[in-house]
Structure 1
Amino acid sequence: MDWFKLSLQLNKFPIQKAKQKLEAIQAIPETDYAHYQRKRRNEIIDYHIQHNAFYREFFNWDGFDDWKRVPIMKKADLQQPMKERLSSTYNPKTAYIGKTSGSSGHPFIFAKNRFAHALSWAGFQDRYSWYDIDLNKSLQARFYGIPLDFYGNIQERLKDRISLRRRFNIFDLSEQKMQKFLERFQKSNFEYLNGYTSAIVLFSRFLEKKEIVLKELCPSLKICIVTSERLFEKDKEIIQQSLGVPVINEYGASEVGLIAFENTNNEWVVNSEDLYLEILDENDNILPYGEEGRVVITSLYNKAHPMIRYDIGDTGILSTSSTLKKPVLEKLIGRTNDIARLPDGKVVPGLTFYYVTKTVIEDNGNIKEFVIIQTDNDHFKIEYVSEEEFSPLQKKKIIDAIGVYVGKNLKIEFERLEILKRSPSGKLKQFTSLIE
């Protein structure tokens, strides 16, 4: 039984149609690829000009004749109620609605039409097959967090079962917990790991300390896929030595899907089938291959919500070996996270705060930006930009969420600011630890 395929079909995502479309796109020769991309870009803009009042006003459209004139969308532009951004041809029941993690400090709710979402999953299936991983058959060790409220927890665990995923909860990465992780690998035929880079690095260091190579205990293991956070070369070496399998770099974002995936030749190949990726300078000029700039993405098939020339908040370089059909990401800057260490010895990846933001985010556009700073073992400071001061009830909700996902009896300080401090590259880092 193809459980993953069945789960998508039951949720009305046309995965078979999407796979056929993906194969048709991949069959387009390089010589015709510029025409394909130009046609899709024009069609998606035309669609949203006709059916999306938000985008029509945002574009201030007076006739389209030059791609360079299409305005850049920032995450802050999308921080307003979903009903004001959804295309008139869709509603919350006919579209897929999701939330971004807020890992860049800009959380918001987004929408995708079901075919566009299915096409994203077809892309993942295609890339995983490069390493003999079948999402319908291969068992995944999933190093992610999980919602702890009753409904969210049950829903996520059900999705894990159907999708052949076994969750390794990264909210607590103490040595006692990682010992239990190790015992699970000894008892199961996992074919791959998938999860947050920092959590897998910590687990790999634990294995290194114990002088254990994971594949020797779990011979079925084939690869490790890291995502959501930047993978440093030194960390990659530690993971590969400790796990005994290749480490594959995945780059994606919930609002646009798969952006790039590392192939068997160690090339970080950009998804050019249903996305169009550009590298822009600070003045929004398109940069040639080999030059560093802002990563800007257009979702070519998302009719429910415009993601057109969307500045995702990262900085990168496309290799000079790139072509229109096969762009290669040479370098990506951003998405690094620190680790929180608590007084009781608990170790928590900074990305755990993603689950806090999912708990407290509201679809009203009030929260514009936020960062969380650990100033002492038991002290955290939340700096935020919002239209209104957090009410006592909102602060309590955030404190309660931190108590659930991070730890109890922590001191939480709030400070509302006009602007937040950024790195030299312009990135916001959602979590920073100031302690040793």
Structure 2
Amino acid sequence: MRTQVAIIGAGPAGLFLAHLLARAGVDAVVLERRTRDYVEGRVRAGVLEQGTVALMERLGLDARLRAEGLVHTGTNLAYDGEIFRIDMAALTGGSAVTVYGQQEVMRDLFDAAESRGVRIVFEAEDLRLDGLTGDRPSVAFTRNGVAQSLACDFVAACDGFHGVGRASIPADVLKVYERVYPFGWLGILAEVPPVNHELIYANHAHGFALASMRSPTRSRYYVQVGLDERIEDWSDERFWDEVETRLGPQASAGLVRGPSFEKSIAPLRSFVAEPMRYGRLFLAGDAAHIVPPTGAKGMNLAVSDVAMLAEALTLHYAERDASGLDGYSARALARVWKAERFSWWFTGLTHRFPDMDAFARRMQVAELAYIRGSKAAQTAIAENYVGLPMGFGGEPSNR
């Protein structure tokens, strides 16, 4: 097999890149070790930045998004039993976010793949990357027990935190920055209407809580828990009691309880690997960086990575201009670190840390009170929440 770009991983990063390259006439093959059902069924993010929505529109993949997505022009913070709203649209010149689950995004990407010439090889196992520092890289893999090889010009590793892509970069080349948080998020999905038409981020003495949604009839809730907690110890009743307590009486006034049909605990970490290029290998999405889910930046960062990478690859093939590829890592990381900063800061503002003393707790409350009364502070949050410029297609990336 031969292609111009071998894409490892059929998650959001890999499929967005494949669609962008197909649109530009660049040949690519996506290798995915799982099945489509597995990839599409993973419960993940649900808030799309304005840049991600714009890219789906640009690719003509926005029909269901426009029909079913929930546009949010604001978001809410709760503390000490009270709630206040940040009017993102008013503070950013009309910008908003759209609630539309990653599962739905993946369905749109997969459904349009075949008709648009996006080639995906599922159940490609035992991947190995060769020749990354030469001019003839290749990807070896097995499928149905048969050894195969994909020759290419470049490899785009969109294969997540545990993938083969980043692991193929020598340790003396790769610099890793990481913070592992001493808690996780226990999340549920339930067929109940949301408690509010917009998200609520709650800071409580018991810990963080988030009231979110996937549709007008399906809600997604989270509570902060210790890393030693077990799902089996959290009955639905206990979960709902804790959500109601942490949201406070004002924010939880319209809470509707119901049985959960999905329940899981996710650990939190901040992680960045530099550089995002090694020879003919380029990292994108979770292969290069992880953010805490606070602020909903994970999938959106993956989209901005591959938008920049697709632009650079298109420039290379159309004009034999390597400047975009040479500058990809620095351009992508400039936006990555801004998103890492916001997610780290927002996590610190809203969560209860094990070593937090009375003074640190009062500092959190004081900062929330300051934000509540400061247009400047709310503007900074709004700009980051709706999404900083993605830095591709002539769009500035230095805000």
Return the TM-score normalized by structure 2: 0.25
Higher relative contact order (CA 8 A, sep 6+): 2
Higher strand share: 2
| TM-score computed with the length of structure 1 as normaliser | 0.23
